[in-house]
Amino acid sequence: MTQQFYVSPEQLTRDRADFARKGIARGRSVVVLSCRDGIALVAENPSPSLHKVGEIYDRIAFAAVGKYNEFESLRQAGVRYADVRGYSYDRGDVTARGLASVYAQSLGAVFTADSKPFEVELAVAEVGSHPDSDHLYRLTFDGSIADEQRFIVMGGQADAVVDALSSRWDADHDFGEAVRTAVDALRNDGGGAVGGVSEPRVRLDAGALEVAVLDRDPLTTRGARRAFRRFLPAEVATMLEGTQH
Amino acid sequence: MKLEDATASIGRAASTSFSGYLGANHPELLPSSRSAGGLTPASAPTVAPHATTIVSMTYAGGVLMAGDRRATMGNIIASRHIEKVFPADMYSVLGIAGSAGIALDIMRLFQVELEHYEKIEGDLMSLDGKANRLAAMIRANLPLALQGLAVVPLFAGFDTAQRVGRLFSYDVTGGRYEEQEHHSVGSGAAFARGALKKLWKPNLDEDRAVRVAVESLYDAADDDSATGGPDVVRQLWPVVYTANSAGARRVPERELALAAAQVIDSRSVAGREA
């Protein structure tokens, strides 16, 4: 029988974290930002059907980076959690905080106990009646949970995107302005290095983007209870053209 | 994990049904988990409220469904305000007759079922798919139906693939029947059906269809004590939904008040017995 080598818990945790981080950084960034009209979720995603952002419940959306099969199963589990809760209690009793905490428990348990941690990072967003009451939760592969303000950037070269976004983010933006700001910031992810200085990419086409929003007041604007709305590529293209005017 | 185990999970993942998930993980939450003990069909109507008449019809470009506002318990009026027609999702509506408590639970489960599928799949279920899911829920209620707590729904929706409004009726065993032109269920259904046979015409416009629905419910209430007519004292009108290519819409109260007033006025002016 072969003898297992002793590995210290610190070393084991570090190795697992490095493994997960590498997997997450491999993809492109996703931006979730709060604005006057609601919450915008913008991802660079060439596939029109394998979504990185999705609807969870009336006022709650989900965004993720990393391995598709892993975050898709987490998204479906989130939808089941929310639907069971809303069905057995009341629709108003489904909150982003509750969902984020069950995600944290699940990610944390897999990180310590399973053979491999999830290579994903998640955002759970809940739109409030005004921007101050929006909730943005960031969940990382080890089950850490953070309550963020203003915006969340995950995956790819997130630091470069955060730098570009923090100077231009404005609580008073409408959806068009917020999406354009986010897309401009996303150009900094994966830019080519010119003479040692990283340059943003020239442009991102509507076809390479996935854009969805949570309306702040869907009942009066659309007569619907569900705030989540996905934009078609043509609508995204119209939104982006606003830059030139 | 062996290959057979891994591939077996594909079959399980194919289920995107919310009621299926509840059945496997929280069976106590399903409407059919009720036990009615020694309840018999003879005593059932006096212990639980019973929802009454629903009418539905096609019109030019869509379907319409209307329900009166009465629930009864034996000879007692249990509710004058009950609503028995609901939007099931963006393009379909559901009306319920029969045991009110179970029917409202089934309606709520059905709404979540459709929304759940839409969120998991990222696409709307086909109209036939929706009709079949509802049939499965009614089938699950068969043991209670045999004890006198039957639920008989009427389902109508706009078929986004065929671009027409369609309507479906059910029996207590979960049998699903597509109906043409118009249909009605509940205690006053026979009287409403008689009225619809005379009032319904092909390609009615929406306003006219609303008036036909209100008038057929008026006739049902005239002869069936369990169906409530327009209540001018409390200003209560039938609940009416339409579903067409633009989606499901509740007809506003003022339009219904107007339609009810027209029916009452024309009958008063005629001054006849029936």
Q: Residues 6 or more apart from A218 whose CB is under 8 A from it?
A: A224, A225, A226, A227, A229
CA distance B77 to chain A (A): 28
**Euclidean distance between the first and final Cα of chain B, in Å?**
74
Q: Is the pTM of this model over 0.95?
A: no
Determine which of A3-12, A144-153, B21-30 has the lowest per-residue pLDDT on average.
A3-12
CA proximity to A40, closest of A31, A29, A51: A31
Q: What percent of chain B has pLDDT over 70?
A: 94
Active site residue B160: no
CB A212 within 8 A of CB A188: no
CB A222 within 8 A of CB A214: no
B139-181, pLDDT tens digit by residue? 998 888 888 888 999 999 999 999 999 999 999 999 999 999 9
B57-91, pLDDT tens digit by residue? 999 999 999 999 999 988 889 999 999 999 999 99
Determine which of B1-15, B173-187, B256-270 has the lowest per-residue pLDDT on average.
B1-15
What six digits make up the tokens of B154? 């009427």
CA distance A55 to chain B (A): 6
pLDDT of residue A223: 78
Rounded to whole angstroms, the Cα distance separating A89 from A95 reads 12
Q: Is the pLDDT of residue B242 over 70?
A: yes
CB A173 within 8 A of CB A203: no
Q: Would you call B119 an interface residue with chain A, using a CB distance cutoff of 8 Å?
A: yes
What residue in A sits closest to B123 (Cα-Cα)? A49
User: Which residue of B119, B121, B124, B242 is the best one to mutate when testing the A interface, meaning the one whose CB has the most A CBs within 10 A?
Assistant: B119
ipTM higher than 0.90?
A: no
- Which residue numbers of A have CB closer than 8 Å to B's CBs? 49, 51, 54-56, 76, 79-80, 83-84, 86-88, 226
CB < 8 Å to B115, chain A:
83, 226
What six digits make up the tokens of B148? 């006198």
CA distance A60 to chain B (A): 12
A24-83, pLDDT tens digit by residue? 888 788 999 999 889 999 998 888 888 999 999 999 999 999 888 889 999 999 999 999
